[in-house]
Amino acid sequence: MSRAAERRAGRHRRGRIRGLRLAAVIIGAAIILAGVIGLAYPSVGGYINRLVQGRAVRSYRRQVEQLVESGESEIMLDQARQYNQWVYNRGGGIEDLDEQELEQYNDVLFMSVTGIMGYLEIPSIDVSLPIYHGTEEAVLQVGVGHLAGSSLPIGGENTHAVLTGHSGLPSSRLFTDLDQLQMDDTFSITVLDHTSAYVVDDIQVVKPEEAELAIEAGTDRCTLVTCVPIGANTHRLLVTGSRTELAQPSPSPGPGPSPVPSAPQEEDESRAEELIPYIIICAIVALAAILGICIIVRHDRKG
């Protein structure tokens, strides 16, 4: 073989080696970056969902303010009370609604801007979630679903509202921590400008067919439902509360109007700082990959 042919063969081998080195660096960086993203996904996804949920609730509150000013909110609450009376009169159990009944149900407390019925707050597990009509999968991916056929969650005698939520979603906690609730914990439901508070007095884990969710005459109750154990979903966790009085805010220490409670998740934007460590890690990995590629290319050029 001539010297020229040997040089060409040497350049070819070096080119292949450079290509293999570059590919190895890129693949290695991609694997590391994928691992970092995989570890960060639950926190990042959870933050994004909390942000979306918080904004939806704030939008709902703004729409409610307009309805209160126009007097429409009281009309909507009266319609909801009439609906709950109809639920109780038909037997008080959870019964499937026919097409016409389902259409009527979806019209009660419907908010055209947000589609939200109200929102649920559980202070002990840091839950603040929008409530939507029905329990379709699209609803349960983003918030809490109200079980059609149960009382609407506005409280009142002879009512039993049932709210359902997913557990164990990688992108949102929703009802994942519902099993941490204990007897005498409280939760509240706000619909329009009306808030109902409940104190937990019954916690059960049952098979789906064993769930007792009927209305008890003379009572005002609400049950939160999720599937357990996470992943298997063979049973239902039922956390039921009875109506209680809302805790009154402390009086203002000085003259002027009392402070207005902030909207749930009003400060969710501040949670962005929780993402900083993951952003830094991803940036470091990306910079390391770029630096590695530059070093290899520079070394090969010298060679």
Which structural domains are found in the chain, ordered by start?
A: 71-249 (2.40.260.10)
Could you give the count of Cα atoms lying within 13 Å of 287 in the half-sphere of its Cβ?
A: 6
**Paired residues of 220 in beta bridges:** 159
pLDDT at 260: 36
Find the helix or strand (DSSP H, E) in which 286 lies.
helix 276-302
Confidence (pTM): 0.71
- Classify strands 159-164 and 116-122 as parallel, antiparallel or unpaired: unpaired
Could you give the count of Cα atoms lying within 13 Å of 158 in the half-sphere of its Cβ?
A: 13
Q: What are phi and psi of 182, to 5 degrees?
A: -125, 165
CB atoms within 10 A of CB 190: 22
Contacts of residue 292, defined as CB under 8 A and 6 or more positions apart, other chains included, come to 25, 29
Find the helix or strand (DSSP H, E) in which 86 lies.
helix 72-89
pLDDT at 277: 55
Asked, as a colleague might, if the bond just before 123 is cis with ω within 30 of 0, I would say no
Residue (of 240, 122, 237) closest to 187 by Cα position: 122
- Assigned token pair, 216: 């008890």
Could you give the count of Cα atoms lying within 13 Å of 265 in the half-sphere of its Cβ?
A: 28
Per-10-residue mean pLDDT, the chain, length 303: 64 65 62 54 57 81 93 96 96 87 94 88 94 95 94 97 93 91 97 96 96 95 96 95 76 39 44 54 67 64 57
pLDDT at 174: 92
